[in-house]
Structure 1
Protein backbone atom coordinates (compact mmCIF):
# COMPACT_ATOMS: atom_id res chain seq x y z
CA UNK A 1 0.00 0.00 0.00
CA UNK A 2 1.28 3.35 -1.00
CA UNK A 3 0.32 6.40 1.01
CA UNK A 4 -1.60 8.93 -1.09
CA UNK A 5 0.44 11.88 -2.23
CA UNK A 6 -0.96 15.06 -0.72
CA UNK A 7 -0.79 18.17 -2.90
CA UNK A 8 1.16 21.00 -1.33
CA UNK A 9 -1.06 24.07 -1.10
CA UNK A 10 0.27 27.00 -3.08
CA UNK A 11 1.41 29.92 -1.02
CA UNK A 12 -0.60 33.08 -1.54
CA UNK A 13 1.47 35.94 -2.89
CA UNK A 14 2.21 38.53 -0.25
CA UNK A 15 0.31 41.78 -0.64
CA UNK A 16 2.48 44.75 -1.48
CA UNK A 17 1.92 47.72 0.78
CA UNK A 18 0.89 50.93 -1.01
CA UNK A 19 3.66 53.53 -1.38
CA UNK A 20 3.75 56.28 1.20
CA UNK A 21 2.52 58.95 -1.23
CA UNK A 22 -0.59 56.86 -1.97
CA UNK A 23 -1.29 56.41 1.74
CA UNK A 24 -1.00 60.17 2.24
CA UNK A 25 -3.60 60.76 -0.46
CA UNK A 26 -5.95 58.31 1.23
CA UNK A 27 -5.35 59.79 4.68
CA UNK A 28 -6.02 63.29 3.36
CA UNK A 29 -9.32 62.13 1.88
CA UNK A 30 -10.33 60.47 5.13
CA UNK A 31 -9.32 63.54 7.16
CA UNK A 32 -11.73 65.57 5.04
CA UNK A 33 -14.48 63.02 5.63
CA UNK A 34 -14.82 62.27 1.92
CA UNK A 35 -15.45 58.98 0.17
CA UNK A 36 -13.91 57.99 -3.14
CA UNK A 37 -17.26 58.74 -4.79
CA UNK A 38 -17.08 62.29 -3.41
CA UNK A 39 -13.70 62.79 -5.06
CA UNK A 40 -15.11 61.58 -8.38
CA UNK A 41 -18.08 63.95 -8.12
CA UNK A 42 -15.92 66.93 -7.15
CA UNK A 43 -13.52 66.39 -10.04
CA UNK A 44 -16.26 66.66 -12.64
CA UNK A 45 -16.15 62.94 -13.41
CA UNK A 46 -12.61 63.21 -14.81
CA UNK A 47 -11.94 59.95 -13.03
CA UNK A 48 -13.80 56.88 -11.82
CA UNK A 49 -14.10 55.40 -8.35
CA UNK A 50 -11.98 52.45 -9.51
CA UNK A 51 -9.28 54.85 -10.72
CA UNK A 52 -9.21 56.64 -7.35
CA UNK A 53 -8.97 53.27 -5.62
CA UNK A 54 -6.06 52.23 -7.84
CA UNK A 55 -4.34 55.54 -7.16
CA UNK A 56 -4.66 55.15 -3.39
CA UNK A 57 -3.14 51.66 -3.69
CA UNK A 58 -0.27 52.92 -5.83
CA UNK A 59 -1.37 51.04 -8.93
CA UNK A 60 -1.54 54.37 -10.76
CA UNK A 61 1.54 56.56 -10.52
CA UNK A 62 0.59 60.11 -9.51
CA UNK A 63 3.06 61.88 -11.88
CA UNK A 64 1.66 59.82 -14.78
CA UNK A 65 -1.99 60.53 -13.98
CA UNK A 66 -2.27 63.48 -16.34
CA UNK A 67 -2.17 67.18 -15.48
CA UNK A 68 -5.96 67.73 -15.57
CA UNK A 69 -6.58 64.83 -13.19
CA UNK A 70 -3.81 65.87 -10.80
CA UNK A 71 -5.12 69.45 -10.62
CA UNK A 72 -8.70 68.26 -10.12
CA UNK A 73 -7.61 65.76 -7.46
CA UNK A 74 -5.65 68.44 -5.57
CA UNK A 75 -8.67 70.73 -5.51
CA UNK A 76 -10.96 67.93 -4.35
CA UNK A 77 -8.53 67.32 -1.48
CA UNK A 78 -8.44 71.05 -0.65
CA UNK A 79 -4.81 71.27 -1.67
CA UNK A 80 -2.90 73.43 -4.11
CA UNK A 81 -0.46 71.61 -6.38
CA UNK A 82 2.42 72.79 -4.21
CA UNK A 83 0.70 71.54 -1.06
CA UNK A 84 0.06 68.15 -2.68
CA UNK A 85 3.69 67.99 -3.79
CA UNK A 86 4.90 68.79 -0.27
CA UNK A 87 2.51 66.35 1.43
CA UNK A 88 3.17 63.37 -0.84
CA UNK A 89 6.82 63.97 -1.60
CA UNK A 90 6.08 63.29 -5.28
CA UNK A 91 7.72 65.65 -7.76
CA UNK A 92 4.83 67.12 -9.75
CA UNK A 93 7.05 69.59 -11.54
CA UNK A 94 5.62 72.53 -9.59
CA UNK A 95 8.08 75.13 -8.35
CA UNK A 96 7.67 75.97 -4.68
CA UNK A 97 8.06 79.70 -5.14
CA UNK A 98 7.57 80.95 -1.62
CA UNK A 99 11.30 81.74 -1.43
CA UNK A 100 11.77 83.32 -4.85
CA UNK A 101 10.28 86.28 -6.62
CA UNK A 102 9.90 84.76 -10.08
CA UNK A 103 8.31 81.38 -10.68
CA UNK A 104 4.94 80.25 -9.41
CA UNK A 105 3.09 80.46 -6.13
CA UNK A 106 -0.15 79.61 -4.40
CA UNK A 107 -3.14 81.93 -4.80
CA UNK A 108 -5.17 82.81 -1.71
CA UNK A 109 -8.59 84.39 -1.18
CA UNK A 110 -8.67 88.14 -0.64
CA UNK A 111 -9.37 87.55 3.07
CA UNK A 112 -5.76 86.33 3.38
CA UNK A 113 -4.75 90.01 3.24
CA UNK A 114 -5.82 90.23 6.88
CA UNK A 115 -2.92 87.94 7.84
CA UNK A 116 -0.63 87.51 4.82
CA UNK A 117 2.08 85.73 6.82
CA UNK A 118 -0.39 82.93 7.61
CA UNK A 119 -2.77 83.04 4.64
CA UNK A 120 -4.47 79.69 5.20
CA UNK A 121 -5.60 77.25 2.46
CA UNK A 122 -4.79 78.17 -1.13
CA UNK A 123 -7.47 78.31 -3.82
CA UNK A 124 -5.30 78.14 -6.93
CA UNK A 125 -1.77 78.29 -8.28
CA UNK A 126 -0.33 80.75 -10.79
CA UNK A 127 2.91 82.00 -12.30
CA UNK A 128 4.25 85.13 -10.61
CA UNK A 129 4.59 88.31 -12.66
CA UNK A 130 8.30 89.16 -13.15
CA UNK A 131 10.03 91.70 -10.95
CA UNK A 132 7.99 91.32 -7.77
CA UNK A 133 10.27 91.48 -4.74
CA UNK A 134 7.91 90.04 -2.11
CA UNK A 135 5.01 88.31 -3.88
CA UNK A 136 1.54 87.62 -2.60
CA UNK A 137 -1.10 86.27 -4.97
CA UNK A 138 -4.72 86.91 -4.06
CA UNK A 139 -8.00 86.23 -5.83
CA UNK A 140 -10.17 89.32 -6.26
CA UNK A 141 -13.42 87.93 -4.86
CA UNK A 142 -14.98 91.40 -4.83
CA UNK A 143 -16.49 93.75 -7.43
CA UNK A 144 -15.06 96.87 -5.78
CA UNK A 145 -12.79 97.55 -8.74
CA UNK A 146 -15.12 96.43 -11.53
CA UNK A 147 -15.82 99.31 -13.89
CA UNK A 148 -14.98 100.75 -17.29
CA UNK A 149 -11.61 102.47 -16.77
CA UNK A 150 -8.15 101.01 -17.25
CA UNK A 151 -8.03 100.31 -13.50
CA UNK A 152 -11.04 97.97 -13.69
CA UNK A 153 -10.53 94.51 -12.19
CA UNK A 154 -13.10 91.77 -12.68
CA UNK A 155 -14.08 89.50 -9.76
CA UNK A 156 -12.17 86.23 -9.90
CA UNK A 157 -9.02 87.81 -11.31
CA UNK A 158 -5.70 86.94 -9.69
CA UNK A 159 -3.90 89.91 -8.15
CA UNK A 160 -0.10 89.83 -8.20
CA UNK A 161 0.91 91.95 -5.21
CA UNK A 162 4.31 93.22 -4.16
CA UNK A 163 4.31 93.52 -0.37
CA UNK A 164 7.46 95.61 -0.53
CA UNK A 165 5.52 98.49 -2.09
CA UNK A 166 3.45 100.02 0.70
CA UNK A 167 4.00 103.72 0.02
CA UNK A 168 0.93 104.88 -1.92
CA UNK A 169 1.41 106.48 -5.32
CA UNK A 170 -1.30 108.45 -7.11
CA UNK A 171 -3.23 106.35 -9.61
CA UNK A 172 -1.89 102.97 -8.45
CA UNK A 173 -4.02 100.09 -7.15
CA UNK A 174 -3.39 98.54 -3.73
CA UNK A 175 -4.69 95.78 -1.51
CA UNK A 176 -5.41 97.25 1.90
CA UNK A 177 -7.31 96.50 5.06
CA UNK A 178 -9.38 98.61 7.43
CA UNK A 179 -11.93 97.89 10.14
CA UNK A 180 -14.33 96.53 7.52
CA UNK A 181 -11.85 93.99 6.15
CA UNK A 182 -9.72 93.69 3.00
CA UNK A 183 -10.18 95.88 -0.08
CA UNK A 184 -8.77 96.45 -3.55
CA UNK A 185 -8.66 100.19 -4.22
CA UNK A 186 -7.09 102.96 -6.31
CA UNK A 187 -5.11 105.61 -4.43
CA UNK A 188 -6.30 109.12 -5.23
CA UNK A 189 -6.03 112.62 -3.79
CA UNK A 190 -9.34 114.45 -3.36
CA UNK A 191 -10.30 117.85 -1.97
CA UNK A 192 -11.06 116.04 1.30
CA UNK A 193 -7.65 114.42 1.40
CA UNK A 194 -6.04 111.18 0.14
CA UNK A 195 -8.35 108.18 -0.18
CA UNK A 196 -8.49 104.69 -1.61
CA UNK A 197 -11.26 104.75 -4.17
CA UNK A 198 -13.32 101.92 -5.61
CA UNK A 199 -13.93 101.78 -9.35
CA UNK A 200 -17.43 100.59 -8.50
CA UNK A 201 -18.90 103.78 -7.08
CA UNK A 202 -21.42 101.86 -5.00
CA UNK A 203 -18.60 101.59 -2.47
CA UNK A 204 -17.49 104.50 -0.32
CA UNK A 205 -13.92 105.82 -0.31
CA UNK A 206 -11.57 104.54 2.38
CA UNK A 207 -9.64 107.44 3.97
CA UNK A 208 -5.91 106.81 3.63
CA UNK A 209 -5.43 107.50 7.33
CA UNK A 210 -7.66 104.53 8.19
CA UNK A 211 -6.03 102.06 5.78
CA UNK A 212 -3.22 99.56 6.24
CA UNK A 213 -1.56 98.87 2.89
CA UNK A 214 -0.71 95.21 2.30
CA UNK A 215 0.98 95.85 -1.05
CA UNK A 216 0.64 97.25 -4.54
CA UNK A 217 -1.13 95.34 -7.31
CA UNK A 218 1.63 94.96 -9.89
CA UNK A 219 -0.23 92.75 -12.34
CA UNK A 220 -3.67 91.19 -12.83
CA UNK A 221 -4.28 87.79 -14.40
CA UNK A 222 -7.76 86.98 -15.68
CA UNK A 223 -9.36 84.43 -17.97
CA UNK A 224 -12.04 86.92 -19.02
CA UNK A 225 -12.61 87.00 -22.77
CA UNK A 226 -15.07 89.65 -24.02
CA UNK A 227 -15.92 87.36 -26.93
CA UNK A 228 -16.97 84.55 -24.61
CA UNK A 229 -18.54 86.40 -21.66
Structure 2
Protein backbone atom coordinates (compact mmCIF):
# COMPACT_ATOMS: atom_id res chain seq x y z
CA UNK A 1 0.00 0.00 0.00
CA UNK A 2 2.93 2.34 0.63
CA UNK A 3 4.01 1.89 -2.99
CA UNK A 4 0.51 2.72 -4.21
CA UNK A 5 0.42 5.91 -2.14
CA UNK A 6 3.71 7.13 -3.58
CA UNK A 7 3.02 6.17 -7.21
CA UNK A 8 -0.78 6.41 -7.39
CA UNK A 9 -0.90 8.24 -10.75
CA UNK A 10 1.03 5.41 -12.42
CA UNK A 11 -1.61 2.78 -11.61
CA UNK A 12 -5.12 2.03 -12.80
CA UNK A 13 -6.89 0.70 -9.70
CA UNK A 14 -10.22 -1.15 -9.76
CA UNK A 15 -12.46 -2.87 -7.26
CA UNK A 16 -15.89 -4.49 -7.17
CA UNK A 17 -19.10 -4.42 -5.19
CA UNK A 18 -21.90 -6.97 -4.85
CA UNK A 19 -20.94 -10.11 -2.95
CA UNK A 20 -21.16 -10.05 0.87
CA UNK A 21 -18.00 -9.33 2.83
CA UNK A 22 -19.61 -9.74 6.25
CA UNK A 23 -22.71 -11.17 7.92
CA UNK A 24 -24.35 -7.74 7.88
CA UNK A 25 -27.65 -8.12 5.94
CA UNK A 26 -27.03 -4.69 4.40
CA UNK A 27 -23.52 -5.65 3.31
CA UNK A 28 -24.36 -7.19 -0.05
CA UNK A 29 -25.96 -6.39 -3.36
CA UNK A 30 -26.12 -3.11 -5.26
CA UNK A 31 -28.15 -0.97 -2.89
CA UNK A 32 -26.97 2.60 -2.37
CA UNK A 33 -26.05 1.77 1.22
CA UNK A 34 -23.82 -1.16 0.28
CA UNK A 35 -22.24 0.59 -2.73
CA UNK A 36 -21.24 3.62 -0.64
CA UNK A 37 -20.07 1.63 2.40
CA UNK A 38 -18.13 -0.92 0.35
CA UNK A 39 -16.31 1.79 -1.58
CA UNK A 40 -15.34 3.70 1.58
CA UNK A 41 -13.99 0.46 3.08
CA UNK A 42 -12.03 -0.27 -0.11
CA UNK A 43 -10.49 3.20 -0.27
CA UNK A 44 -9.46 2.93 3.37
CA UNK A 45 -7.83 -0.48 2.84
CA UNK A 46 -5.97 0.66 -0.29
CA UNK A 47 -4.91 3.98 1.18
CA UNK A 48 -6.20 5.97 -1.80
CA UNK A 49 -8.94 8.56 -2.20
CA UNK A 50 -10.33 7.30 -5.51
CA UNK A 51 -10.63 4.29 -7.83
CA UNK A 52 -10.19 4.46 -11.59
CA UNK A 53 -12.95 1.90 -12.18
CA UNK A 54 -15.60 0.56 -9.80
CA UNK A 55 -17.30 -2.65 -10.95
CA UNK A 56 -20.78 -3.85 -10.12
CA UNK A 57 -19.85 -7.52 -9.82
CA UNK A 58 -23.19 -9.15 -10.60
CA UNK A 59 -26.80 -8.24 -11.34
CA UNK A 60 -28.96 -7.40 -8.33
CA UNK A 61 -32.58 -8.47 -8.90
CA UNK A 62 -33.61 -6.93 -5.56
CA UNK A 63 -32.45 -3.37 -6.25
CA UNK A 64 -33.89 -1.13 -8.97
CA UNK A 65 -31.30 -0.58 -11.68
CA UNK A 66 -31.95 3.16 -11.52
CA UNK A 67 -30.90 3.20 -7.85
CA UNK A 68 -27.62 1.44 -8.60
CA UNK A 69 -26.77 3.67 -11.57
CA UNK A 70 -27.64 6.86 -9.70
CA UNK A 71 -25.40 5.74 -6.81
CA UNK A 72 -22.46 5.15 -9.16
CA UNK A 73 -22.98 8.56 -10.75
CA UNK A 74 -22.96 10.22 -7.36
CA UNK A 75 -19.61 8.58 -6.61
CA UNK A 76 -18.21 9.94 -9.89
CA UNK A 77 -19.45 13.44 -9.01
CA UNK A 78 -17.89 13.09 -5.55
CA UNK A 79 -14.53 12.22 -7.12
CA UNK A 80 -14.38 8.82 -5.45
CA UNK A 81 -14.43 6.89 -8.73
CA UNK A 82 -13.51 7.99 -12.23
CA UNK A 83 -15.68 5.51 -14.15
CA UNK A 84 -18.40 2.96 -13.34
CA UNK A 85 -17.83 -0.54 -14.73
CA UNK A 86 -19.76 -3.78 -14.99
CA UNK A 87 -19.06 -7.50 -14.64
CA UNK A 88 -21.24 -10.59 -15.15
CA UNK A 89 -24.23 -8.70 -16.56
CA UNK A 90 -25.92 -9.88 -19.75
CA UNK A 91 -25.83 -7.76 -22.89
CA UNK A 92 -29.47 -6.68 -22.54
CA UNK A 93 -28.90 -5.60 -18.95
CA UNK A 94 -25.88 -3.52 -19.91
CA UNK A 95 -27.70 -1.94 -22.87
CA UNK A 96 -30.66 -1.09 -20.64
CA UNK A 97 -28.26 0.48 -18.13
CA UNK A 98 -26.54 2.53 -20.82
CA UNK A 99 -29.94 3.83 -21.91
CA UNK A 100 -30.86 4.86 -18.37
CA UNK A 101 -27.46 6.47 -17.86
CA UNK A 102 -27.71 8.44 -21.10
CA UNK A 103 -31.29 9.54 -20.43
CA UNK A 104 -30.44 10.84 -16.95
CA UNK A 105 -27.05 12.30 -17.78
CA UNK A 106 -25.26 9.76 -15.55
CA UNK A 107 -21.70 8.61 -16.11
CA UNK A 108 -21.77 5.66 -18.52
CA UNK A 109 -20.35 2.20 -18.00
CA UNK A 110 -16.91 2.48 -19.65
CA UNK A 111 -15.49 -0.97 -18.93
CA UNK A 112 -16.81 -4.52 -18.91
CA UNK A 113 -15.39 -7.72 -17.42
CA UNK A 114 -16.76 -10.94 -18.95
CA UNK A 115 -15.45 -14.50 -18.77
CA UNK A 116 -13.75 -15.45 -22.04
CA UNK A 117 -11.42 -18.27 -23.05
CA UNK A 118 -11.12 -21.10 -25.58
CA UNK A 119 -13.74 -23.26 -23.88
CA UNK A 120 -16.06 -20.47 -22.66
CA UNK A 121 -16.81 -18.38 -25.76
CA UNK A 122 -20.35 -17.19 -25.05
CA UNK A 123 -19.10 -13.59 -24.86
CA UNK A 124 -18.58 -13.68 -28.64
CA UNK A 125 -22.33 -13.92 -29.26
CA UNK A 126 -23.53 -10.61 -27.80
CA UNK A 127 -21.21 -9.12 -25.16
CA UNK A 128 -18.13 -8.47 -27.29
CA UNK A 129 -20.06 -7.16 -30.33
CA UNK A 130 -22.01 -4.89 -27.97
CA UNK A 131 -18.82 -3.61 -26.35
CA UNK A 132 -17.34 -2.85 -29.75
CA UNK A 133 -20.49 -1.04 -30.87
CA UNK A 134 -20.65 0.99 -27.65
CA UNK A 135 -16.87 1.55 -27.60
CA UNK A 136 -16.53 -0.02 -24.15
CA UNK A 137 -13.26 -1.33 -22.82
CA UNK A 138 -13.17 -5.07 -22.06
CA UNK A 139 -10.88 -6.77 -19.57
CA UNK A 140 -11.84 -10.44 -19.66
CA UNK A 141 -11.24 -12.91 -16.86
CA UNK A 142 -10.16 -16.57 -16.82
CA UNK A 143 -8.18 -16.63 -20.10
CA UNK A 144 -6.68 -19.94 -18.92
CA UNK A 145 -9.99 -21.46 -17.89
CA UNK A 146 -9.00 -21.73 -14.24
CA UNK A 147 -5.83 -23.59 -15.25
CA UNK A 148 -7.53 -25.92 -17.74
CA UNK A 149 -5.51 -24.53 -20.67
CA UNK A 150 -2.08 -24.54 -19.01
CA UNK A 151 -1.07 -28.03 -20.16
CA UNK A 152 -1.73 -29.59 -16.77
CA UNK A 153 -5.06 -31.11 -17.77
CA UNK A 154 -6.13 -33.69 -20.32
CA UNK A 155 -8.83 -36.30 -20.81
CA UNK A 156 -7.27 -38.47 -18.10
CA UNK A 157 -4.63 -36.07 -16.83
CA UNK A 158 -5.12 -34.09 -13.60
CA UNK A 159 -2.64 -32.22 -11.38
CA UNK A 160 -2.43 -32.82 -7.64
CA UNK A 161 -3.60 -29.30 -6.88
CA UNK A 162 -5.22 -26.41 -8.72
CA UNK A 163 -8.51 -24.53 -8.97
CA UNK A 164 -10.28 -27.24 -10.92
CA UNK A 165 -9.21 -29.77 -8.30
CA UNK A 166 -9.66 -27.74 -5.12
CA UNK A 167 -12.49 -25.30 -5.93
CA UNK A 168 -15.93 -26.84 -6.43
CA UNK A 169 -17.14 -23.79 -8.36
CA UNK A 170 -14.41 -24.17 -10.97
CA UNK A 171 -14.77 -27.94 -11.03
CA UNK A 172 -18.44 -27.49 -11.91
CA UNK A 173 -17.79 -24.71 -14.43
CA UNK A 174 -15.21 -26.67 -16.43
CA UNK A 175 -16.06 -30.23 -15.44
CA UNK A 176 -17.57 -31.44 -18.72
CA UNK A 177 -15.56 -34.14 -20.51
CA UNK A 178 -15.56 -32.07 -23.70
CA UNK A 179 -13.55 -29.35 -21.98
CA UNK A 180 -10.79 -31.76 -20.99
CA UNK A 181 -10.71 -33.14 -24.53
CA UNK A 182 -10.27 -29.59 -25.84
CA UNK A 183 -7.53 -28.98 -23.28
CA UNK A 184 -5.66 -32.10 -24.39
CA UNK A 185 -5.90 -31.20 -28.08
CA UNK A 186 -4.91 -27.61 -27.38
CA UNK A 187 -1.86 -28.75 -25.41
CA UNK A 188 -0.78 -30.95 -28.32
CA UNK A 189 -1.29 -28.06 -30.74
CA UNK A 190 0.90 -25.80 -28.60
CA UNK A 191 3.54 -28.55 -28.44
CA UNK A 192 3.63 -28.74 -32.25
CA UNK A 193 4.19 -24.98 -32.35
CA UNK A 194 6.95 -25.29 -29.78
CA UNK A 195 5.27 -22.92 -27.31
CA UNK A 196 3.85 -23.17 -23.80
CA UNK A 197 0.05 -23.51 -23.91
CA UNK A 198 -0.58 -20.82 -21.27
CA UNK A 199 0.76 -17.78 -23.19
CA UNK A 200 -0.84 -19.16 -26.37
CA UNK A 201 -4.26 -19.28 -24.67
CA UNK A 202 -3.83 -15.74 -23.32
CA UNK A 203 -2.63 -14.44 -26.69
CA UNK A 204 -5.66 -16.04 -28.34
CA UNK A 205 -7.99 -14.11 -26.03
CA UNK A 206 -6.06 -10.89 -26.54
CA UNK A 207 -6.24 -11.28 -30.32
CA UNK A 208 -9.99 -10.61 -30.40
CA UNK A 209 -10.55 -7.01 -31.49
CA UNK A 210 -13.13 -6.50 -28.77
CA UNK A 211 -10.69 -7.34 -25.95
CA UNK A 212 -8.74 -4.49 -24.37
CA UNK A 213 -6.69 -6.82 -22.18
CA UNK A 214 -7.14 -10.26 -20.59
CA UNK A 215 -6.76 -10.47 -16.82
CA UNK A 216 -4.00 -12.82 -15.75
CA UNK A 217 -3.44 -14.35 -12.34
CA UNK A 218 -0.46 -16.20 -10.93
CA UNK A 219 0.37 -18.05 -7.74
CA UNK A 220 4.09 -17.42 -8.07
CA UNK A 221 6.70 -15.59 -10.15
CA UNK A 222 7.24 -18.61 -12.41
CA UNK A 223 3.58 -18.67 -13.46
CA UNK A 224 3.62 -14.92 -13.95
CA UNK A 225 6.68 -15.09 -16.20
CA UNK A 226 5.04 -17.77 -18.38
CA UNK A 227 1.81 -15.77 -18.72
CA UNK A 228 3.66 -12.58 -19.65
CA UNK A 229 5.19 -14.36 -22.65
CA UNK A 230 1.79 -13.80 -24.30
CA UNK A 231 2.72 -10.15 -24.86
CA UNK A 232 5.39 -11.18 -27.36
CA UNK A 233 3.41 -13.95 -29.04
CA UNK A 234 2.46 -13.12 -32.63
CA UNK A 235 -0.95 -14.54 -33.47
CA UNK A 236 -1.95 -15.43 -37.01
CA UNK A 237 -5.39 -15.94 -38.49
Give the TM-score taking structure 2 as reference length: 0.29
> Greater strand percent: which structure?
1
Q: Which has the larger radius of gyration?
A: 1
Give the number of the structure whose residues are more often helix, by fraction: 2
